[in-house]
Amino acid sequence: MSYLNLSHLEKVFGQNRVVKDFTLGIDKGEFISLLGPSGCGKTTVLRMVAGFEAPTSGAITIDGQDVTGLKPNNRAIGMMFQAYALFPNLTVAENVAFGLKVKGVARDERAARVEEMLALIGLPEMGARFPFQLSGGQQQRVALARALAPRPRVLLLDEPLSALDAKVRVSLRNEIRAIQKDLGITTIFVTHDQEEAMSISDRIVVMNAGIADQVGAPFEIYNRPTTRFVANFVGTLNTFDVSVEDPGLGRVSLAGQPLTVPGLPDGARKGDVLPIALRPEALRLGQLPGAEAVLPAVIEDVHFMGSVIRLTARAAGAQLSMDTFNRADQPPPVPGQTVEISLSGRDAIVLRG
């Protein structure tokens, strides 16, 4: 039994089934991200955990306690919102102390805890300020301190970084992750930014239309997506149609060239046409020794992005995108140029439907 359990959660708004049979176990101290497109139900799941929405069916337990019917203020949960939801009429210190005050913690203890939290978020001098005197990033850090001050059992973050500018977003997410690891607090983080989810999560839940499509570590999700939706949503993908030659050995052919791919579906038979996918970084420019197949391709577009150059090309009837490292002594190809692309079957992801 995990620390935080969501079992068979369902949420229906009117006619609209927004969350469907959502089951997830989260270990103590784990950092989980809910990742998915807008409207897929991430916030709704989080709000059910917080207690703002009652699940239509299903149950939520924390540390063995069934909290499904509990009001939000009895769940001992911390939450950070997208808009800075600091109380504007209270100072930073009073904001951080709020949860302790309503719990009836003594004044001295409160002050000590506030000081500790402000030091933790790196704003030790700001206690006397009002929220409007802080930048957005500082406000969100105070919101984090406020959420953590009462020592919640679970921390919920609903796109806490999306209102911030890019630089602050990156530094704050690393800070959040560091503090989370430090305190060992069980955390659910909602985002629709896949890079954000990849970089800080222990595990990612990719959601699609109210369903948890795939749950796994970032490496796993990225390299072994189990559905086409996940593969497409996480990272860029090049898909090719291949025909099965020998299902037992995983042998297929792509544009007449033989490949050995991992994990052909059980029912595959010789002659079936299947989609396989390759990440941009699995495609290499030029003839690489050890590559299983080399395809001729026509360059369509060149995006110079600094250390990496992203190329768009057409090969074997498919449009594909690939990355190559910038090298000062080697100018990138130009559009219209014919090049060769090397690839190997072991990098391919075989997509289920």
Ligand X SMILES: Nc1ncnc2c1ncn2[C@@H]1O[C@H](COP(=O)(O)OP(=O)(O)OP(=O)(O)O)[C@@H](O)[C@H]1O
Candidate list 15, 16, 38, 89; residue touching other proteins; CB under 8 A: 89
286 binds, among ligand X, other proteins, Mg ion, none (CB under 5 to 8 A by kind): none
Can you name the residues that pair with 258 across neighbouring β-strands?
253
Q: Taking the complex as a whole, how short is the minimal distance between the CB of residue 85 and other proteins, in angstroms?
A: 3
Stretch that binds ligand X, among 37-45, 58-66, 149-157, 168-176 (CB under 6 A): 37-45
**Residue 38 C-alpha from the chain's centroid:** 13
Write out the DSSP string of 105-166. Answer: --HHHHHHHHHHHHHHTT-TT-TTS-GGGS-HHHHHHHHHHHHHTT--SEEEEESTTTTS-H
If the CB atoms of residues 9 and 77 are measured against ligand X, the closer one turns out to be 9
Residues 264-323 that bind other proteins (CB under 8 A): none
Tokens of residue 7, six digits: 């079992």
- Residue 150 or residue 345: which is nearer to other proteins going by CB? 150
Binding mask 192-231 for ligand X (x = CB under 6 A): x---------------------------------------
Q: Is 33 in the site for Mg ion (CB under 5 A)?
A: no
Name the residue nearer to other proteins (CB basis): 9 or 134.
134
139 binds Mg ion (CB under 5 A): no
Q: Is 189 in the site for other proteins (CB under 8 A)?
A: no
Tell me the sheet residues that pair with 91: none
For ligand X, the binding residue among 9, 35, 40, 179 (CB under 6 A) is 40
Q: Is 181 in the site for other proteins (CB under 8 A)?
A: no
For the bound state, the minimum distance from the C-beta of residue 116 to Mg ion, rounded and expressed in Å, comes to 31
Q: How far is Cα of residue 51 from the mean position of the Cα atoms in its chain?
A: 23
Amino acid letter, 185: I
Phi, psi angle pair for 13, to nearest 5°: -105, 110
Among 15, 16, 64, 71, binds other proteins (CB under 8 A): 71
Report d(CA 272, CA 274) in Å as an integer: 6
14-23 contacts, C-beta under 8 A, 24 or more apart: 17/210, 18/44, 18/210, 19/44, 19/45, 19/48, 19/55, 19/210, 20/209, 20/210, 20/211, 21/58, 21/211, 22/58, 22/210, 22/211, 22/212, 23/212
Q: Which residues pair with 240 in a beta bridge?
A: 276
Comparing every residue's Cβ against Mg ion, the nearest one is 43
Environment class of residue 304 by beta-carbon count within 10 Å: exposed (0-12), middle (13-18) or buried (19+)? exposed
Closer residue to ligand X in complex, CB, 11/203: 11
Indicate which single residue of 41, 99, 280, 333 sits in contact with ligand X (rule: CB under 6 A): 41
Among 33, 43, 139, 342, binds Mg ion (CB under 5 A): 43
Binding site for Mg ion (CB under 5 A): 43
Binding site for ligand X (CB under 6 A): 13, 16, 18, 36, 38-44, 192
